[in-house]
Amino acid sequence: MRLIILAVLFSSTFNAIGQSPLKLVDQLLDSIFSKDQPGIAVAIVKDGKTIFSNGYGIANIITKTKLTPATNFNIASITKQFTAAGILYLQEKGFLDINRPISQYFPDMNKHVSEKVTLKHLLTHSSGIIDHYDFVKVEKGKHGYARQVYDAIKDKDSLYFTPGSSLRYSNTVYCLAGLIIEKISGKTYNAFMHQTFFSPLKMKHSTVWNENEKIYKAATGYDRDSATGQFIKSQAEEHVFFSTEGDGAIYTSVEEYVKWFNSLQQASILNKENISLARSIQNKIPRHNGMGYGYGWFVNNRQQPAYIYHSGGNGGFRTYSFSIPALDYLVVIFANRSDINIENIVMQINQILFPKLPALVPIEQLTS
């Protein structure tokens, strides 16, 4: 197990607490997670430096391998920020326009839908496109992929609402965005992510899940049996959308996710304008003033500086990324167990480091 604590001060926060706040974070997490059970990996960044990183618990119950900041997790819906960034990257290079209808990418899709919906609608969950879950046919024990999602909904002629008029969180639309990346780039989603982001950022062990690929230092995802309390390996046949590209399926570690965060802070791949747009409200959330969705992130502008966050959950994994870009501050937690309230843990860490920071509005409330 590795613990990194650098002598970086959060000014008044550190001065107000006799014991280092980072020590308190370590004690908090150590008290929550047992050394012989699935757990979490965490990293905290301030001013471009990783000031705290550690693993708590084990990556696999059978091998007893320890969780570390280098352990790879399925980050589930946090993948969406990579997909959105991929689309913005292609727009920067002049290959597409997010304000054009998606009919130009999907000529065989129902025109009643595709000519009304733009790529921007997909990225901001404002398309109104019907969810795919009731229509995708996947054999038991087999994984579904983004193309199957498209095939399941391409002929549907109805929408939940007029595109651009509301917000409905959707995995379906990010699968479509992932397919558009493939169509425009001429590469698989995995190859595009490697070439555009992972390789330049030296995220050398990050990848997109594929049933034929062995993932480096991958954690196993676990669910907890409600009757016995025992941890059981998450069953693939119960999570047939574990592998759909675009909305999920990226594997990375907190250690390498920090490289991604720092690249956005430094605008080393995307330009500053697009990063600002991605992290700004592009679609307001009904009944939640000052809150909305950007391109791959939830955004809270209720107070300043604003903060952005996103969660993920699939196949026994739970993930959470929280940041305040203006303060160059990030907390990222990846878990290989589905029974924890990861959002609450992030809030507890924030309260230790920034006691006056307003509490998060749970993402579950925002997407309901």
- Which pLDDT tens digits describe the chain residue by residue (368 residues)? 444 433 333 444 444 433 599 999 999 999 999 999 999 999 999 999 999 999 999 999 999 999 999 999 999 999 999 999 999 999 999 999 999 999 999 999 999 999 999 999 999 999 999 887 776 766 555 566 778 888 888 999 889 999 999 999 999 999 999 999 999 999 999 999 999 999 999 999 999 988 778 899 999 999 999 889 899 998 754 455 667 899 999 999 999 999 999 999 999 999 999 999 999 999 999 888 899 999 999 999 988 899 999 999 988 999 999 999 999 999 999 999 999 999 999 999 999 998 888 777 777 777 66
- Count Cβ atoms below 10 Å from residue 331 Cβ, excluding itself: 23
Q: Which run of H or E residues covers position 40?
A: strand 40-46
Q: Which domains does the chain have, with CATH numbers?
A: 4-367 (3.40.710.10)
Amino acid at 106: F
Question: Could you tell me whether strands 4-5 and 317-324 are parallel, antiparallel, or unpaired per DSSP bridges?
Answer: unpaired
Q: How far apart are CA 173 and CA 105, in angstroms?
A: 13
Phi/psi of residue 330, nearest 5 degrees: -140, 140
DSSP tag of 100: S
Please say whether the dihedral angle defined by the alpha carbons of residues 116, 119, 125 and 131, taken in this order, is positive or negative.
positive
Q: Say what the pLDDT of residue 12 is.
A: 45
Q: In residues, how long is the chain?
A: 368
> Could you tell me the pTM of the whole model?
0.92
CA 351 to chain centre: 22
Cis peptide before 305 (omega within 30 of 0): yes
Q: CA distances (Å), 355 to each of 10, 116, 280, 349, in order?
A: 11, 46, 24, 9
Among left, alpha and beta (phi > 0; psi -120 to 50; other), residue 366 is alpha
Q: How far apart are CA 203 and CA 180, in angstroms?
A: 23
Query: Quick one: 167 exposed, middle or buried, by C-beta within 10 A (0-12, 13-18, 19+)?
Result: buried
Residue 155's nearest CA partner among 110, 113, 102, 112 is: 110
Residue carrying structure tokens 């397919």: 179
Q: Say what the pLDDT of residue 5 is.
A: 39
